[in-house]
Structure 1
């Protein structure tokens, strides 16, 4: 990057000198004389430009001290204009004594010299500011991505313990009853831990793996609640093969349905789960019956759903929709994701 920067500056001064030589020679056609004139003036221009580039730009302009930057720049240009005028007057008088000069103290000559020096300064400083702004934007975007990834990891770290906490409570309840189902549930739990360790850290997983995890969870919950819950499950078959989604995106919705659909329920609870895929659009609908005294409202939907929605916002932005429909006796979520 530094070598490219050096070559850019060298190339700029070569082109700049060539252009001004051609312009200067356009008056009389004396290209050699014009080239000598430009080379004589080049050191003063270099000093002004790189004093501004290495001193005034980083210490004043980029630090927000704009007024001081422009004040010092103008003072530098005025001094440089005087210096260049003296150099032109005496150097050209020695090299080309036959060329008449209208006088050293003419004000417009100093102004002309300052303006000519300002032209490369404006160009190089302008390019430098544009480049630094582009680098700053790139850095800002990189930091935003790092922040998003950190937030995603944080949200996942909340989801997994929350999910496992509920599962351990289930196993604990059965262990108090000395249920034969306890060992099977512990095996299911080990599967969940395996998923959490080796799959959930991936950015995307095949939809089939999320479906398999969801089936395991449903089997675990049905084993616990036995005849208290009726699960109606409709899942895609071949359509799911080419779809990938973030891990643990769908399962928490099913967990939420079991948790709140069976809370305070004394009769048969019903949970309907419908997942379909059409042209890379994933539709997921979970409906659970809700006891009138469940205490579940749209404002109290739990840590799991809140975190899932944050994850969806970060990952998909506007490419998803999540609708929650709450009725007195039924609670429905409808998630639609454009996975293309």
Structure 2
């Protein structure tokens, strides 16, 4: 009958619902008891006299016992209290019948003993009837609110997990770049300023954009280009790199840091003992599907890549985020060949123009 969150509007709605309910109840039983005998007015008046105990009974059960006992898993205590209350109010109803209604308004009716079983059980059944609908509504709203709480908790847990996954930016790459920068500075290389600028862009992206639920695909690709440029500077451009973008990447959005781990992985495992290797990266957009294909060389002596690499946020991390963010809207294929490592990622992405 009511929610857990209490405010004036909820209280007003609750009073209004109870008012309509009790008016409907009085009308229903007045018709049931009065119309067959042609004394609807008398039955209507008698119901008004006897409705107050029922209101108290329903209010105690629905507004106090259910939240205080039933919803706190104290089922036995609730049942015991419920039985005692229904017997007490049935007896109270018998007092009203015997000492108010029958002597003054239904004088032609025989007054039965207070604890007459048939009449007493009739009052119990009437109380049970009148409380059933409010109990059902209370249970419905309680279960709905519990479901909402569970959904809220799951949503908050999901966001916390995603936030944790997003922020697992591994410092190993940054340390390597800073070491390269240090070497460039010592040798007074012209690349030093460019490295500092790209590091600045990379850190800005990883600190600010990583916490956004989605970013433009253009920003993601710009970040990847910065990352790749830093890696190429770090390895003195010894790697053979092919980086291509096809299709219209404007007005599309993606969860940040989904592509980077695979590129990190390529740089980590592609070099041989002479720091030679190759990487091919192709990114395309078609019909709101983003397709990323990455392939890198593998040294001849190295033909096994663990599923959860430590570089960056890791492939296992990305798999988990894809499951959470793009259920049934992505396809990930990973092939570990003898001399190459291949990744194909297909994601249904958001179109900002829609």
State TM-score, norm by structure 1: 0.90
Q: Is the 8 A contact 1:227 1:268 kept in 2?
A: no
Q: Is the 8 A contact 2:304 2:336 kept in 1?
A: no
**Secondary structure class of the residue paired with 2:299:** coil
1:181 is matched with 191
Compute the displacement of 1:166 (Å).
4.5
| Alpha carbons of structure 1 residues 20 and 169: separation in structure 2 relative to 1, 3 Å | farther
1:290 is matched with 298
State TM-score, norm by structure 2: 0.87
Aligned: 1:123 with 2:142: no
Match of residue 205, structure 2, among 187, 195, 209: 195
Q: Is the 8 A contact 2:263 2:294 kept in 1?
A: yes
Q: d(CA) in 2 for partners of 1:299 and 1:250?
A: 16
1:42 is matched with 51
Structure 1: gaps spanning 5 or more residues: none
1:10 is matched with 19
Q: d(CA) in 2 for partners of 1:89 and 1:111?
A: 15
**Secondary structure class of the residue paired with 1:159:** coil
Structure 2: gaps spanning 5 or more residues: 1-9
Q: Is the 8 A contact 2:303 2:337 kept in 1?
A: no
| Alpha carbons of structure 1 residues 235 and 226: separation in structure 2 relative to 1, 3 Å | same
2:319 is matched with 309
Compute the displacement of 1:167 (Å).
3.3
Q: d(CA) in 1 for partners of 2:141 and 2:270?
A: 58
CA distances 1:39-75 after superposition (whole Å, capped 9, x unpaired): 1221111121122123321232112121231222122
The correspondence of residues 1-340 of structure 1 with structure 2, limited to 5 A, is: 1-101=10-110, 103-104=112-113, 105-159=115-169, 161=171, 164-172=174-182, 174-175=184-185, 178-237=188-247, 239-262=248-271, 264-266=272-274, 268-294=276-302, 297-302=305-310, 304-305=313-314, 306-340=316-350
Instruction: Kindly tell me the number of residue pairs found equivalent between the two proteins.
Output: 338
Q: d(CA) in 2 for partners of 1:337 and 1:26?
A: 69
CA distances 1:73-117 after superposition (whole Å, capped 9, x unpaired): 122212222221231122222322443236235312111111111
Q: As a proportion of its length, which structure holds more helix?
A: 1
Q: Is the 8 A contact 1:298 1:326 kept in 2?
A: no
Compute the displacement of 1:152 (Å).
1.8
Compute the displacement of 1:2 (Å).
2.4
